[in-house]
Amino acid sequence: MEISKELADAINDQINFELYSAYIYLSMAAWLEENNLPGMAHWMEVQFNEEYAHAIRFYRHIIERGGRVIFKAIDAPQTDWASALDVFETAYEHEKVVTARIYKIGEIANKEGDKGAQSMLQWFYKEQVEEEKNTSEIRDNLKRAGDSRQILFMLDRELGARPPAPAPPLDSMAP
């Protein structure tokens, strides 16, 4: 079944937003590096790679379904934050926006009865639960740390142990 124009347009917009998300996380990584938090910067670099992989997954779905991928300009990301807590608060709020956008794509797929897109989106629904959970837990740990530099550096070391993101999938149906 060929993808509809409406669904392809929505997914193209999401490809752009996933690439923007990657750009945001790389900007956060740079800020964290500048502020001597290399572990948190590493965590954000892994997040950057995950967002890029998400864009590729959506890209592959359109291609496999006979649609046309259309790239748009990517807005400049935020570059300054007040603290590591502010960085992760921003990340959590951003992930909530990503989730809402993916749910809207799901509404279009459901309306059209597009089983292929519905199947592909199941992976994203699970992924977004994880993304929101991870960023909110880190944010909450930073809140609990308060002004403790010792706890901040312990969290930084812990986040630096995050394994690298897997390579982008070769097809949209890959786990």
Q: pLDDT above 70 covers what percent of the chain?
A: 95
3 state SS for the chain: CCCCHHHHHHHHHHHHHHHHHHHHHHHHHHHHHHCCCHHHHHHHHHHHHHHHHHHHHHHHHHHHCCCCCCCCCCCCCCCCCCCHHHHHHHHHHHHHHHHHHHHHHHHHHHHHCCHHHHHHHHHHHHHHHHHHHHHHHHHHHHHHHCCCHHHHHHHHHHHCCCCCCCCCCCCCCCC
Spatial separation of the C-alpha atoms in residues 144 and 152, rounded to whole Å: 10
CATH architecture, domain 5-159 = Up-down Bundle (1.20)
Tokens found for residue 154: 């312990």
pLDDT of 172 above 80: no
Asked if 145 and 152 count as a contact pair (C-beta separation under 8 A), the reply is: yes
Model confidence band, residue 1 (pLDDT cutoffs 50, 70, 90): confident
Of 170, 163, 164, give the one whose Cα is nearest residue 56.
170
Mean of pLDDT over the chain: 94
What is the band of 169 on the pLDDT scale with cuts at 50, 70, 90?
A: low
26-66: pLDDT as tens digits: 999 999 999 999 999 999 999 999 999 999 999 999 999 99
- Using one digit for the tens of pLDDT, what is the confidence trace for 131-154? 999 999 999 999 999 989 999 999
Mean pLDDT to the nearest integer, 14-18: 98
Taking 60 as the threshold, does the pLDDT of residue 175 lie above it? no
What are the residue boundaries of the structural domains of the chain, listed by start? 5-159
